[in-house]
Amino acid sequence: MDALKNDRFLRALLRQPVDATPVWMMRQAGRYLPEYRATRSKAGNFLNLCKTPELACEVTLQPLIRFDLDAAILFSDILTIPDAMGLGLHFAEGEGPHFHHPVKTAADVKKLAVPDIHATLQYVMDAVSLIRRELHGRVPLIGFSGSPWTLATYMVEGGGSKEFSKVKGMLYEDPNSMHQLLDVVARSVSAYLNAQIEAGAQAVMIFDTWGGALTTRDYQTFSLNYMQQIIAELKREQAGRPIPVVIFSKGGCQWLEMQAQIGADCLGLDWTMDIGLARSRVGNHVALQGNMDPTVLYASPQRIRDEVGFILKSYGAGSGHVFNLGHGIQQNVNPEHAKVFIDAVHELSGIYHK
């Protein structure tokens, strides 16, 4: 493996000094890029794109050709794990994900087992190894998974949901089954992330997209606890280097103090939170990742630069900030605006790292 040439991202996660604030974008390999749409079209469908290491590698690297990003993130989907558990993931054209065999009953939960990661998800590890080779040490590679709670929402609802009536029905009415489900998913995620780390991921992120749909008590019991269980099981060092862990509960900024206590190195923030206030609440324990509103990328270059400036100033001096959007980049954004954003972070952040 080539030596890492740009370690700003890893250093910021560990709150070590950096020369400029590192930046990457959630969904940076995505539909806003014409070259992504071309590869996606070549793959035939989204799941083929995820399951073909050469194509997953190709789209992972595309934004790094255009932009001066400080990290790459594995191109994959959070639902590969329930797919590996036998739920039968499919994507109808123009629609969200669906499972052929959702988890409807306590009996369905009992049938679930931790999948043989290498037998079922080797395509992900192959993509990770290939991306690492093709990166030639330019920037670190992030591996990722969905959180157990977030995966459970799709597994029980059978796809995306707005109201979560089925999965919360199970949570409220049969909490034991919900705990069994979350435990087997958490053990699967731990094995999956460790396999990604062994294959070459240099940091890992747990996406808790739907943690913010829970009450405070239930967030702690059914989401945060299982992320803590995973973090306790992760390999935190590989080839003599620490492997930092980021957790991101969208809509969960009211729980930052709790999130800071579970062993993660960094907390993701959505854009509703003032990052300076977040730092004052938890900044001595963890780094922070975020948090520009993705829709700012529809505005003019000057307005984008102003917003980057506001957020950098709000965070203030010193390391511990990984700049990002507060959610994935939207598909109708002009890629030139993404470039303005990324360059502005590097250009405007130097004064905070003297």
For position 106 contacting its own copies by CB under 8 A, the verdict is: no
Separation of alpha carbons 45 and 51, rounded Å: 10
For position 273 contacting its own copies by CB under 8 A, the verdict is: yes
For position 296 contacting its own copies by CB under 8 A, the verdict is: yes
Residue 217 vs 354, nearer CB to its own copies? 217
For position 295 contacting its own copies by CB under 8 A, the verdict is: yes
Residue 22 vs 290, nearer CB to its own copies? 290
Concerning whether 279 is annotated as a catalytic residue, the answer is: no
Candidates 159, 208, 160; CA nearest to 182 is 208
Total residues contacting its own copies by CB under 8 A comes to: 35
Min dist CB 52 to its own copies, Å, is: 29
Concerning whether 116 is annotated as a catalytic residue, the answer is: no
Query: From residue 212 to residue 251, what is the string marking binding to its own copies with x (rule CB under 8 A)?
Result: xxxxxxxx-------------------------------x
CA atoms within 13 A on the CB side of 246: 32
Contacts of 70 (CB under 8 A, 6+ apart): 6, 8, 9, 22, 23, 24, 139, 322
Looking at 40, 132, 279, 305, which residue is catalytic?
40
Task: Take residue 297 and report the two structure tokens written for it.
Answer: 């990328």
Residue 85 vs 214, nearer CB to its own copies? 214
Concerning whether 154 is annotated as a catalytic residue, the answer is: yes
Q: 122 with 63: CB under 8 angstroms?
A: no
Looking at 154, 192, 226, 315, which residue is catalytic?
154
Separation of alpha carbons 346 and 5, rounded Å: 16
For position 4 contacting its own copies by CB under 8 A, the verdict is: no
Looking at 8, 27, 132, 305, which residue is catalytic?
27
Q: 11 with 319: CB under 8 angstroms?
A: yes
Contacts of 181 (CB under 8 A, 6+ apart): 103, 109, 112, 152, 155, 156, 170
- Single-letter amino acid, residue 83: D
Min dist CB 72 to its own copies, Å, is: 25
Q: 67 with 23: CB under 8 angstroms?
A: no
Residue 170 vs 195, nearer CB to its own copies? 170
Min dist CB 106 to its own copies, Å, is: 15
Concerning whether 15 is annotated as a catalytic residue, the answer is: no
Q: Which stretch binds its own copies (CB under 8 A): 12-20, 67-75, 293-301, 335-343?
A: 293-301
Concerning whether 31 is annotated as a catalytic residue, the answer is: yes
For position 332 contacting its own copies by CB under 8 A, the verdict is: yes
Residue 263 vs 301, nearer CB to its own copies? 301
Number of H helices, E strands in the chain: 17, 11
What is 190-211 written as a DSSP string? HHHHHHHHHHT-SEEEEEETTG
Binds its own copies by CB under 8 A, chosen from 105, 280, 300, 334: 300
Q: How many residues comprise the chain?
A: 354
For position 254 contacting its own copies by CB under 8 A, the verdict is: yes
> How many Å separate Cα 137 from the centre of its chain?
21
Residue 45 vs 330, nearer CB to its own copies? 330
Q: Strand 321-325's sheet: what is its strand order?
A: 72-73, 141-146, 203-208, 245-249, 266-268, 287-292, 321-325
Min dist CB 129 to its own copies, Å, is: 35
Site for its own copies in 170-209 (CB under 8 A): 172-173
User: Residues interacting with its own copies, by CB under 8 A?
Assistant: 163-165, 168-169, 172-173, 212-219, 251, 253-254, 271-274, 277, 293-296, 298-300, 303, 307, 310, 330, 332
Q: Tell me the catalytic residues.
A: 27, 31, 40, 77, 154
